[in-house]
Amino acid sequence: MTPKIACLLAVVALLLVGTLSPAAELVSRKGECGTIVGYKDTPLLPATGGKYHVHDPDRPEPKYVDPGPAPELPGPVPSDAIVLFDGQDLSAWEPTKWKVADGYVEAGGGSLVTRQPLGSFQLHIEWMAPATPATHMMSRGNSGVLLMGLYEIQIFDSHPVHDEQIYPDGQAASIYGQTPPLVNACRKPGQWQSFDIVFTAPEFDGDKLVSPGVATVCHNGVLVHNHQQITGPMTHRQILPYRGHAAKLPLALQGHGSPVRFRNIWVRPLGE
- Report whether pLDDT(4) > 70: no
Query: What pLDDT is stored for residue 33 in this prediction?
Result: 73
Range of the domain at 159: 3-269
Q: How far is CA 98 from the centre of its chain?
A: 18
* Secondary structure of 3-38 in HEC code, one letter for each residue: HHHHHHHHHHHHHHHHHHCCCCCCEEEEECCEEEEE
| Mean pLDDT for the stretch of residues 240-259 | 96
| Mean pLDDT for the stretch of residues 128-144 | 90
- Report whether pLDDT(43) > 80: yes
- Report whether pLDDT(21) > 70: no
Query: What pLDDT is stored for residue 5 in this prediction?
Result: 47
Question: At 19, phi and psi to the nearest 5?
Answer: -75, -20
- Report whether pLDDT(9) > 90: no
| Mean pLDDT for the stretch of residues 223-247 | 97
Are 80 and 228 in contact by the 8 Å Cβ rule? The answer is no
**Assign residue 256 a region: left if phi > 0, alpha if psi is -120 to 50, beta otherwise?**
alpha
| Mean pLDDT for the stretch of residues 114-125 | 98
The predicted-structure confidence for 183-193, as pLDDT tens digits, reads as follows 999 999 999 99
| Mean pLDDT for the stretch of residues 201-215 | 97
| Mean pLDDT for the stretch of residues 175-186 | 98
Are 45 and 58 in contact by the 8 Å Cβ rule? The answer is no
162 C-beta neighbours (distance < 10 Å), count: 19
Amino acid (1-letter code) at residue 216: T
Least confident among 51-60, 128-137, 251-260:
128-137
Q: How deeply is 254 buried, as exposed, middle or buried, from its count of CB atoms within 10 A (0-12, 13-18, 19+)?
A: buried
What CATH number should be reported for the domain holding residue 166?
A: 2.60.120.560
Tell me the three state secondary structure of residue 200.
strand
Confidence band (pLDDT; 50, 70, 90) for 272?
Answer: low
| Mean pLDDT for the stretch of residues 107-112 | 93
What's the total number of domains in the chain? 1
